[in-house]
Structures are given as structure tokens and as C-alpha cells.
Amino acid sequence: MKSLYMPIGLALIVAGFSVLYNCSQPTDVAGGGTEAGNALVAGYIYNSNGTPAAGAVVQFVAVDQNPRTGVSIAAVETTDAKGKYSIKSMAAKTYNLIGHGSGGAVYHDSIEVEDDTLELRDTLKAPGTLRGVVKLEHEVDSGYIFVILLGTNMYAMADSNGSFVLANIAAGTYQALVLTTVSDFAQVDTELTVREGLDEVMVDTIVLKSIGIPVPTGLSIAYDTLKQIVFVTWNHMDQANVIGYNIYRRISNPDSSFALRKGNIIDTFFYDTTCIEGLSYDYAITSINQDGVGGVQCSWNTVIIASAFRYLGVFGSAGTGVGQYNNPMAIAVSHNRILVADLLSDGRSGKIIVYNSGGDYVKEMTPFSYPVGLATRSDGAFYVMDGLHSTITYVTSGDSIAATFGGKGSAPGFFNQLGLWQMAIAPNGGLYITDPNNNRIQVFDSLGNYQREFTCGEPMGITFQDSNKVVIALGSPVKIVLSDTNGVFHAEWVGWGSLGVTPRMNIYNFYDGSGSARVLFYSSNGELIARFGHNGQDQNGFELLRYAAVDLTRIFIADNTQRKIIYFLLPGDL
């Protein structure tokens, strides 16, 4: 519920009536009673000790007057030194008397004025305060709720928690009307009692019942931190009145706009995979009736999109100096070292930067022509892919160049333009290299001698899950396939880009068809088991993912556009 007090220009009954509203000066006779003539109304106001209450203000308001829609006071007078007031002409009607003075306040209800003389006597007493809570059924939290004291110039508005206060008002029992600006909720007619000199809290909550299209109940949210999926469920409503549901989502902020996430859902569940890490989202549901009309939405339910991958930091720095990277193209981890293939500013030459396992700079190796890919062996030796000349350079564990092989072409052992493709080392030591423009994967021994090849459609990424299972990312059609070492496919799912495996032999890649820069993890049958990251420049945000690498506990990611190497702690399940 919205929290504010109605901004109308009404004078307060007394200075302490900070949450109540008074009327303007008299304009006409209020109420709907029958006017049979005019009467003389006179009376006395006393202080609690029995002395006359001089200077007390006395007002008469029709008993059915609604102060929220405008107050017309039938008469107002101030008592003289003897506490007396006199109103010479009052229309025949039923009124409430409201008075206040230095000695307190008075409320006298249901005074019937007829066409003769009426004399009243009332005593000022210490005012009281009444506090309470009012709610819409099913915890609907939109709109305003008003608590109105009929036949007075006073009403209060509930705050965002449903709390209201009727402060510093005369003791008595008031006829109250509780209503809301939200359609399809019934008003409540009740009595509220304020006791002399007491500040009391109502025991029972006032509930306004829903009378329109049923409001969905039981909204519940569960969040899978590994898969980053929000599961939204709610109760099934009466099919005679409800044929479907709309689900709404907003970024958690009472002032933020909200959008229809999905409309006309028949089921009572929904899952959302489009949320961004680090943000908080609210969800709400509306029912749809037989005419296709949506009802009042239920209260918002909130979820925080957290990551199961703990950010550890960035190592190295962008630049052109020694130990800095200009355009990190690939990354690999082996033998307690982290290798980064960096393309220099001339767009042709490059270098290999070596860091220790803690991310500290060790050395760099030059020159390398257009290094776009890396693959490491368990003994510390590694291979560098040259995207400009379509060759592979083999570097020993002692960091000396032992061989260069390949070249441009379509014959066995050659490549038709190596680019942002990938190499992988099989458990038996064989080197598998994707050759997408020749629609094949070629196999070499550790020194670069051609062994064999097998055909597949535009292979882009490759990794090994075990000695007999090779995982391949294809470009035509776009998918990831699980193959044996002879190219026979056993499973497939949507995905693209470079590939790798975690210590538990789960597969990861960078693309799920949504265009989002995220890292995704799969089981051997293609079931999604985890993901993290999003488009952005915050600590969990990526711009252009080239390669990733893992050690026993961490994953390292080369972000080519942001020119940084980011690393995260792997969840234990991966």
C-alpha cells in the first residue's frame, strides 16, 4: 500500500492532530437527513473539574458525512466565559458534536435536531489514540487504504505496512468506514472506540475482502544458484472463474516499472532464466477470467540473483608494457602455470605471458605471430595456434620451440585459415585440432606429425571428457555434440564456442543461444547443471569471451573486449 497522508487544505482540529483532517469553514448543511425546519441548539462545555470551558470550539457535523470526499460543517461556535454556546438556526437532522479546548476534547454522537429548542451539556476529557492494521485480502499491496470516521472531519491513511493511527482525538465510539482505491475489494463498516487518555493498539487486523476476479494465492519463489533459474509457483484458482494467469516482473524497487514477463499462462508454475546476477527481482501474478480480463495482482515476492561462483579477482593488467596484455586471446592452465596468449596492438604479432598459479607475473615469450589459441600438456609443454599463417607451434616444457607444423591448405595436415578455433590434447597424448573451413578435425602426435582426420560440420571448439569421449562445438548446425574419437556422435545440445572440462569432468562453454555472455556447464548428456555471468562491466560481467581454463578449484576467463583476465572459485559440485 502507498504511504502518505491526503494533501488537502484542511485545518487540524488541534495542533496535536497530526494524522487527522479537519474541515474548512461552513459552506452548507451536510448529510442526507430530512429537513423539517430550523431549531435553536444551545449548550455548555465544561472542563473535567466541572469549571466552564471558556473559548472551546464546538462543531456540528452530519452523522453520514464522509470527510474524505469533503467536509461541510453545519455549525461552529466558540464558548463564552461561562462555557456556553448558542446556534440560533440548525436544520433538522442528526449530527455529531466535536469540540476541543485547553482542557481536552469531546465527542457527542447521534444528536437529533428537530424544529424546537435543544440544550446540551458536555465535558472535555483527555484525548486518546487508536492504532491498528488494515490489509487487503491475500496480502495485496497496491493502492491506498483509508480509515474514515463518519460524521467527523477525521480520517487516516494506512502506510506501506498497513498501519494507521488516529491520534489525539476525543474519547468515544465512532462509526468507521474502511475502503481502498483498489477495485474489486469490499469496504468494511465497523465501530472504532477511543478511550480517554489512552494510546491503544487494536488486537484484530481489519481485512478488506476480495469480491472481483480471484487474486492468486500461494505465490512462492525458489532460486537455483547453480543454474541461475528462478522458479515461480502459485495456487490453482477456481476454473469456473479463472482460465489463466499473467506473471509480472520488476527490478526490486517500489518506484520501478514492471513488465509482463509472460501472459496467459495455463499452468501454475513458471521458470525464468533471464535474470542478471547481483540484482533483485519482484514477481507478481494476476488471474484472467473467462472474458480475458486480468484481475488485481497479488503482492510482490522477491528474489536476489546470487552467483554460486565466488569472484576472486583480476590478475595481470592491460597495457603494452612487459607482463601486460593488450588483447588477451586465449588462456590455459598447466603445471602450476597460467599462460595467456596476447595479440599486440599491430594486430599481427603477439606474445605468451606466463603467470604463476597465484596470478603473479613470471615472464613473457616472444615473438609469436597472431596467437589465437593455446593447449597445454601435463608436463608443462604447450601449443600455440597462429591465426595468421594457420600453423601450430610446439613449445617444450623448457619453453623452447621444438616444432612448427601445419599451414594454409586443404590437404591432410594443413588448415584452411585457422582463427578463433581450438585445440585439445587427448588422454593418450594425441593433439586434436578443429579445421572448420575444411569441415573436419585433424589428429596429430605430440610433435605435430599428421595421424588422421574425421569429418564434421564446421567444428569450432573441442575438449576431452575422458579417453573415449570428445566434445565438439559445431557451427553448422550450431550445437555441441558428444562424440567418440572416431567422430560418431552420441549426444547433442544447443551451444557454441570454445569448450573445456572441469575437475569433475563436467563440460563448459560460452554460449547458449540467448546472446548472453555467460559460462555454462553441462553433464555428459547435455543437461545444464550450472551457469554464471552476464553482459556487463561489473565484476561478474563479460563483454566478449574468448577462452576459459580451469585448475582444481578455479576457473579463469579471458575477456577480450574488457582486456582482463578474471577468475572465480568453482563450486564444489563442479
| Residue 336 confidence (pLDDT) | 86
**Can you give the residue ranges of every domain in the chain?**
1-211, 220-304, 310-569
Which pairing describes strands 38-46 and 118-123: parallel, antiparallel, or unpaired?
Answer: parallel
Alpha carbon distance 61, 44 (integer Å): 18
pLDDT at 514: 57
The answer to whether the Cα torsion of 49, 50, 53, 57 is positive or negative is: positive
- pLDDT, residue 27, reads 29
pLDDT of residue 36: 44
Query: Given this model, what pLDDT does residue 254 score?
Result: 62
Here the cell at position 213 is: 476476479
Cα–Cα dist 271/280, whole Å = 16
The answer to whether the bond into 367 is cis (omega within 30° of 0) is yes
Residue in the block written with cell 487540524? 12
What is the structure's pLDDT at 89?
A: 87
Nearest residue to 115 via CA among 25, 44, 59, 33 = 33
Name the pTM for this structure: 0.71
- Cβ contact 385:434 at 8 Å: no
**Would you list the DSSP string of 369-396?**
ESEEEEEE-TTS-EEEEETTTTEEEEE-
Asked if 1-211 and 220-304 have one fold, the answer is yes
DSSP assignment of 194-209 equals E-TT-EEE-SSPEEEP
If 0-12 CB within 10 Å is exposed, 13-18 middle and 19+ buried, where does residue 143 land?
Answer: middle
Question: Mean pLDDT of successive 10-residue segments in the chain (574 residues)?
Answer: 35 32 32 53 96 97 90 91 94 95 96 90 97 92 91 94 96 97 93 97 96 93 94 91 93 74 89 88 93 91 93 87 89 90 88 91 92 92 93 95 95 83 91 93 95 91 88 87 84 83 85 68 88 81 81 89 88 86
Tell me the pairing of strands 172-180 and 145-149.
Answer: antiparallel
Domain 220-304 has CATH 2.60.40.10: yes
**pLDDT recorded at residue 383:** 97
Return the closest-CA partner of residue 463 out of 432, 500, 421: 500
Give me the sheet containing 104-113, strands edge to edge: 75-78, 57-62, 93-101, 104-113
Class level of CATH domain 1-211: mainly beta
At 323 the pLDDT is: 85
pLDDT of 255 reads 67
Class of the CATH-defined domain 310-569 = mainly beta
